[in-house]
A and B are shown apart, each in its own frame.
Chain A
Amino acid sequence: MVQPRTLYEKIWDAHVVERRPDGTCLIYIDRHLVHEVTSPQAFEGLRLAGRKVRRADLTLAVPDHNLPTTPRRDAAGNRIPIADPESAQQLAALEKNAPEFGIRYIGDADAEQGIVHVVGPEQGFTLPGTTLVCGDSHTSSHGALGALAFGIGTSEVEHVLATQTLLLKQSKTMEVVVEGELGPGVTPKDVALAICGRIGTAGGTGYVMEYRGSVFRDMSIEGRLTVANMSIEAGARSGLFAPDEKTIAYLEGRPMAPKGAEWDAAIAYWRALVTDEGAVFDKSVVIDAADIAPNVTWGTSPEDVVPVTGVVPDPESFADASKRAAAQKSLDYMGLTAGQRLEDVAIEHVFIGSCTNSRIEDLRAAADLLKGRHIAAGIKHAMVVPGSGLVKRQAEAEGLDRVFLDAGFEWREPGCSACLGMNPDKVPAGERCASTSNRNFMGRQGPGARTHLVSPVMAAAAAITGHLTDVRELMGVKRGEAVA
């Protein structure tokens, strides 16, 4: 009898080129996304060694991190120069390297351009059962479609370009089960934050997660992308959703997805990609959906999560001495005091965007709340950065851009933007941002910037009131009340 296997083990086994006596495996890589920040040194390495890209046809290059979110072409269609010479140099390097090595390239002004983790699924480049890598830790996002997807460093980028493989040790497996139904105003982002809060940012280290249970089964592909995206914030390089009929419906007709007889063969293959009955996970984390509230971070680690109705924790309440010291340091940085109500914390900036929350559903949800409302007087800057040119176009077709603009938001061009501030979009030192991104690290959104991670609707709610706010209040839902 065949040993029951988890989804991860099935994908792993299908990609072993060679197994070594010490357990290290040479793993075949089916998909490689390349952006401008982590690739220049890899291409330079290839050039110096006189090496070629083994499978340019399995590789896709898209610039995203450095691009300004202001217009990129003038009225005559000429490129508007990028002010920062280093950003311009890095972008120019990718624009030159991709054709030199025969790699398909989506340019800065193409409608398909966007954040790599939005573009991959949207183009049908990301497929179930594939191994997918990118020199970016949020590559875990693609696990939403059942791809074993993980971030790699630049040396590994070079290794994949040259050999289409990586040398890896098999990870342990962890199932994250959320059963029940999410309450009104509770989104996939709140689920992801709840997981980080529960297991900590090192909780998933060494593991590949699989998201199981009714909440994830009922979740849209966009929602799953948000959850899988933040697997890495809980320490796991990769987080998987078993492909289902939603996945297949999402992929059908996407530009790079299989067509005709190949599509039929593909969906037959994908339908078998489930964890077998009786397969054993090394670790299991179970969360009740009813326990998840709209969440917000108070500190400088994604594990510093509390429900928005809560208070800033007292560093003395942590059992571990190093955790106490870290919490105190976080509070000093964030300019918060123990016991302060999160809902009393005033916000100056609002950022809706990033590979976590910049897809059409995210924008629809935020716009829905903002309709007929305006940002508060205390908000200095609020902006929406769609995840891709296609998301932007779709939103504009639905009139969402008007809703955001009328509410006082700026409506920008796609890219990574203020998630990490490699482009001009930064939060000034000492100022506070309600952000739909994934990391509240010190200095992440700019030197001295203070980040509170929230869902798109929570960001919209904070924009309306000028302080962190329980979105349920604005939705006309009493806390804890079920939807009719």
Chain B
Amino acid sequence: MEKLNIVDGRAYPFGMKNVDTDIVIPAHWLKTISRSGLGKGAFEVLRKEPGNVFDDPEYTGSPILIAGDNFGCGSSREHAAWALADLGIKVVIAPSFSDIFSGNAFKNGILTVVLPQEAIDRLMEVAKSDPIHVDLEHQTVTTQFQDRFQFEIDPFRKHCLLGGLDEIGLTLGQADTISQFEAKDAGTRPWLVPVVA
């Protein structure tokens, strides 16, 4: 995973509420066996609409996406995070996210920032003409107009994003602890392993 700390650039002023992962990436894009190349399918349905932010040359290539409440609800498809990453998005800012999506985003080096609706409204305004500055280390979103919004983030997620750490590698380092759990549990739940016919 790539390290992430400062993200400075334009943002898509998207703002839509309840964006489900079928909207982010429709099911027919899920047939790939690769993680890359999904940017082409990102927001496919919305991009059929003239004047959509994703095809507006003003915003193309922006590293930040500003969205509405409950972003990423629905399907668990990590393809949604891969599609955003492939578009070059490194930060999504919204009033709330679905649990599964924010986990998937984080595992792909995408920061999800939760800010109150008033802050989102303000950033949507700024994004139309000016860049936005995200600082993970200091947990702030700022603009050149003195706006400064502080956000919360899980310390472990922050640590992994800043260091670009591989979570599986970290957990494998605890193989002994896992083995101890399994040995103890086999006494409590001897029925755990499925029967093989």
Interface residues of A (CB under 8 A from B): 14, 17-18, 20, 22, 24, 26, 28, 30-31, 37-38, 40-41, 44-45, 49, 51, 54, 57-58, 60, 65-66, 84, 86-87, 89-90, 93, 104, 124-125, 127, 129-130, 135-137, 139, 151-156, 158-159, 162-165, 167, 169, 171, 201-202, 205-206, 232, 235, 237, 255-259, 262-263, 265-266, 269, 301, 322-323, 325-326, 420-422, 439, 441-444, 447
Q: Which residues of B sit under 8 angstroms from A139, Cβ to Cβ?
A: 76
Contact B73 A235 (CB under 8 A): yes
Interface residues of B (CB under 8 A from A): 15-18, 20, 22-23, 26-28, 30-35, 44-45, 68-70, 73-78, 81, 96, 98-100, 103-104, 107-108, 154-156, 167-169, 171-172, 174-175, 177-178, 181-182, 185, 188-197
Extra contacts, 9 of them, besides A22-B154, A26-B174, A422-B27 (Cβ < 8 A), are: A41-B35, A127-B191, A152-B76, A152-B100, A262-B190, A326-B16, A420-B27, A442-B45, A447-B26
Select which of A24, A30, A135, A301 is within 8 A of B76 by beta carbon.
A135
| Known A-B contacts A154-B78, A266-B191; A235 and B70 likewise in contact (beta carbons under 8 Å) | yes
Which residue of chain B lies nearest to A421 when distances are taken between CB atoms in the complex?
B27
Which residue of chain A lies nearest to B81 when distances are taken between CB atoms in the complex?
A153
Contact B195 A57 (CB under 8 A): no
Contact B76 A169 (CB under 8 A): no
| Known A-B contacts A38-B77, A202-B70, A258-B191; A28 and B185 likewise in contact (beta carbons under 8 Å) | yes
A-B interface contact total, Cβ < 8 Å: 202
Q: Which residues of A sit under 8 angstroms from B193, Cβ to Cβ?
A: 57-58
Q: Indicate the member of B20, B104, B156, B190 with the most A CB atoms within 10 Å.
A: B20
Contact B100 A153 (CB under 8 A): yes
Select which of B15, B172, B185 is within 8 A of A162 by beta carbon.
B172
Select which of A269, A325, A443 is within 8 A of B45 by beta carbon.
A443
Contact B96 A164 (CB under 8 A): no
Which residue of chain B lies nearest to A320 when distances are taken between CB atoms in the complex?
B17
Which residue of chain B lies nearest to A162 when distances are taken between CB atoms in the complex?
B168
Q: How far is the CA of A297 from the CA of B108 in the complex (A)?
A: 34
Q: How far is the CA of A193 from the CA of B88 in the complex (A)?
A: 37
**Least distance between B98 CB and chain A CB atoms (Å):** 6
Contact A265 B191 (CB under 8 A): yes
Closest 8 CB pairs of A and B: A153-B78, A86-B31, A153-B104, A258-B191, A151-B76, A155-B107, A40-B33, A262-B191
Q: How far is the CA of A65 from the CA of B76 in the complex (A)?
A: 14
Q: How far is the CA of A58 from the CA of B178 in the complex (A)?
A: 15
Q: Indicate the member of A153, A232, A444 with the most B CB atoms within 10 Å.
A: A153
Q: Which residues of B sit under 8 angstroms from A45, Cβ to Cβ?
A: 168
Q: How far is the CA of A447 from the CA of B28 in the complex (A)?
A: 10
Contact A442 B100 (CB under 8 A): no
Contact B190 A265 (CB under 8 A): yes
**Least distance between A276 CB and chain B CB atoms (Å):** 19
Q: How far is the CA of A248 from the CA of B191 in the complex (A)?
A: 14
Q: How far is the CA of A264 from the CA of B31 in the complex (A)?
A: 43
Could you jot down 12 A-B contacts, CB within 8 Å?
A49-B168, A152-B103, A153-B76, A155-B104, A162-B172, A201-B18, A255-B195, A301-B20, A326-B18, A421-B28, A422-B30, A439-B20
Contact A137 B74 (CB under 8 A): yes
| Known A-B contacts A266-B191, A441-B23; A201 and B73 likewise in contact (beta carbons under 8 Å) | yes
**Least distance between B168 CB and chain A CB atoms (Å):** 5
Q: How far is the CA of A152 from the CA of B107 in the complex (A)?
A: 11
Q: How far is the CA of A405 from the CA of B98 in the complex (A)?
A: 41
Q: Which residues of A sit under 8 angstroms from B28, Cβ to Cβ?
A: 421-422
Contact B76 A137 (CB under 8 A): yes
Q: Which residues of B sit under 8 angstroms from A151, Cβ to Cβ?
A: 76, 100
**Least distance between A237 CB and chain B CB atoms (Å):** 5
Select which of B96, B182, B195 is within 8 A of A202 by beta carbon.
B96
| Known A-B contacts A26-B177, A162-B168; A90 and B154 likewise in contact (beta carbons under 8 Å) | no
Q: Which residues of B sit under 8 angstroms from A86, Cβ to Cβ?
A: 31-32
Contact A159 B194 (CB under 8 A): no
Q: How far is the CA of A85 from the CA of B36 in the complex (A)?
A: 18
Q: How far is the CA of A139 from the CA of B107 in the complex (A)?
A: 20
Contact A301 B18 (CB under 8 A): yes
Q: Which residues of B sit under 8 angstroms from A439, Cβ to Cβ?
A: 20, 22, 74-75
Contact B103 A22 (CB under 8 A): no
| Known A-B contacts A162-B168, A442-B45; A37 and B73 likewise in contact (beta carbons under 8 Å) | no
Q: Which residues of B sit under 8 angstroms from A262, Cβ to Cβ?
A: 190-191
Contact B194 A256 (CB under 8 A): yes
Select which of B100, B168, B194 is within 8 A of A57 by beta carbon.
B194
**Least distance between A356 CB and chain B CB atoms (Å):** 14
